[in-house]
Amino acid sequence: MSHSNIDVRYVANLARLELSDEEVAIFQPQLEAILGQVQILTALDVSGIDPTAHDSMVFGKMRDDTPHESLSPEAVLKNAPDQAQGQIRVPKVVTDA
Amino acid sequence: MTITKLRRQLLAGETTPAAILESLAGQIAARDGQTGAYLTHDLESALAEAAQSDLSLPLGGIPIAIKDNINVLGQPCTCGSKFLQNYVSPYDATVIRKLRAAGAIPYGRMNMDEFAMGSATENSALQVTRNPHDLSRIPGGSSGGSAAAVADLTAIAALGSDTGGSIRQPASHCGVVGLKPSYGRVSRYGLVAFASSLDQIGPITQTVEDAALILQAIAGGDPLDTTCLDAPVPDFLASLHDGVKGLKLGIPKEYFGHGIAPGVRKAVESAIESLAAQGAEIVEISLPHTEHAVATYYVLAPAEASSNLSRFDGIRYGHRASNPSDILDLYQKSREQGFGPEVKRRIILGTYVLSSGYYDAYYSRAQKVRILVQRDFENAFKQVDAILSPVSPSPARKIGTFSDDPLHEYLSDIFTIAANLAGIPGISVPCGTTDDDGGNQLPVGIQILAPRLGEAKLLQIAKAAESSESV
């Protein structure tokens, strides 16, 4: 783990977050400090350990694939910011070449 | 008034569900303007439910306040965020369905740190919540509204959620009981996800017995949450009064080093002495990876959050920026406008540790260290029945004192975080007060941790710790 040189604006763009210059100036040193603290993990020997969330629990039990009631289109559309003809409306996705 | 006492009064015909709700609404009107625990509360719909109450059910007629990240049909679910300010839940979370099946009435939406990210409720984008014991101080967080209302007696009991201490720490700061069940004990279907390998829903109550009553109602498998275990749910009340005689309780030497406020140490040590006087054997143990747990958490929790919060894109629900130039601009502006600083900070951190070139160094390594933290507990529980510690190194701080130092705030989660990483249950029980800051007496909580799915014994020990405090 090399010492972090996080490019805040680049990473924010990966997360589809637009940031102001002021926000970048605030976050940059804060995130560097947090990543600096995380460096203590490099000192540990983790060879032979599988990266898993829960070592000894069994999840992922399959349930029967039976149809059950789900939300109606009307219920879902109630929270949509914009809609037309029973569907969620978004700005044009495909642009002219 | 506790659930237990109200249930007795209801069954004796001395009160009614409607009268309890009206009385709560009066308390809220009188005091919540100062405390700010409630975001909203809909008395009319609660009264309509109360009219249908079946008092023969275990929680029949009891109103329960709900943290604002748990969906209740027809009610807001803002998660303390501007992004979801106008969102109305189209369905009930499984815990709400189960509470209703037990006769309880969801009443009130409780303030919280935005998307449960924080330890002070100061990251709520919607309002300030104050500690009822000292209105200049934080209630803790992220379930600060739930804990403050139970402490202020504007709620009988509440549900919170705990990803790194968000039930236990505000309970400790507000002088009430807060229980984080084992990972998999309670369904998260309908809880707005923050970090899915860590999140658990649990009760915040005035007494340990009330916490047991609520856990009894909400525990158990759920086909709608594949991480929810089908394990049998024991009768948590049956062993509640069995005491601690003959039990071995561990004190992690790493937890009692420097950094604990003297008044917190004194209160916790006197609770430990009392448990010893009741017949428990106190044993020193070691959790060698304590220091690494916080670093592990602050890689894993933001990583999972950055993924979970990608759903907030301004398309299907929540805030949408006006006049975007194209779809990409819509995503970026909606998220920029809708999220507060702590949420952005964690999304960026999480995206970074998951990004190509850094994944192995941060995320994958943290997942491995997480196993070391889990093994620490497995080894400890070979020697002891449960582990005792403070919940928080210091009592509730003043509002606004660490706002630009997130790292310092993160480090104060040291005692609570490991339970989430290990998936084990933990409870905060009031154990006295401190006036370290020279001001008001502020509550201190003792944390008890038990092996996975060991809530019955956890509650049994908590009951003994509680009695010792009230004697």
**Residue A25 within any structural domain of the chain:** yes
Beta-strand pair B386-390/B248-252: parallel
Residue-number span of the structural domain to which A26 is assigned: 8-43
Q: Do B345 and A31 touch (CB under 8 A)?
A: yes
Cα–Cα dist B88/B72, whole Å = 9
pLDDT at A95: 73
Compute CA B455 distance to the chain's CA centroid, rounded to the nearest angstrom: 15
* 3-class secondary-structure state, position B441: coil
Average predicted confidence (pLDDT) for chain B: 96
Strand ranges (E), B192-350:
200-205, 248-252, 281-285
- What are the two backbone dihedrals, phi and then psi, of residue B42, each rounded to the nearest 5 degrees? -110, 90
Query: Domain locations in chain B?
Result: 3-218, 294-361
Report residue B333's pLDDT band, with 50, 70 and 90 as the boundaries: very high
B369, pLDDT greater than 80: yes
Question: Residue B323 gets which letter from DSSP?
Answer: S
Strand ranges (E), B72-189:
105-110, 157-162, 177-180
Residue pairs spanning A and B at CB distance below 8 A: 174
What DSSP line would sit under B108-137, residue for residue?
A: EEE--SGGG--SSSTT-SS----BTTBTTB
* Cβ contact B116:B134 at 8 Å: no
Task: Please tell me the total count of domains within chain A.
Answer: 1
Nearest CA to CA, how far is B107 from chain A (Å)? 22
The pLDDT > 70 percentage for chain B reads 99
**Residue A80 within any structural domain of the chain:** no
**Is residue B74 left, alpha or beta, with left meaning phi > 0 and alpha meaning psi from -120 to 50?**
left
Fold type of domain B3-218: Amidase signature (AS) enzymes (3.90.1300)
B346 neighbourhood in chain A, CB within 8 Å: none
- The mean per-residue pLDDT over the stretch B118-122 comes to 96
- List residues of B with catalytic annotation: 67, 142, 166
**Residue A17 within any structural domain of the chain:** yes
**Is residue B304 left, alpha or beta, with left meaning phi > 0 and alpha meaning psi from -120 to 50?**
alpha
Q: Do B352 and A31 touch (CB under 8 A)?
A: yes
Q: Which residue of A has its CA nearest to B407?
A: A34
Q: Mutate one of A2, A3, A6, A38 to test the B interface: name it (highest B CB count within 10 A).
A: A38
**Residue A1 within any structural domain of the chain:** no
**Residue A59 within any structural domain of the chain:** no
B321, pLDDT greater than 70: yes
ipTM: 0.92
B404, pLDDT greater than 80: no
Cis peptide before B142, with omega less than 30 degrees from 0?
yes
**Residue A78 within any structural domain of the chain:** no
Query: At B308, which amino acid appears?
Result: N
Q: Do A76 and B316 touch (CB under 8 A)?
A: yes
Beta-strand pair B38-40/B105-110: antiparallel
List all residues of chain B from 191 to 220 with a beta carbon under 8 Å from chain A: 197
Q: Which residue of B has its CA nearest to A77?
A: B316
Among B88, B344, B410, beta carbon nearest to A17: B344
Nearest CA to CA, how far is B89 from chain A (Å)? 9
B452 neighbourhood in chain A, CB within 8 Å: 57
pLDDT at A64: 82
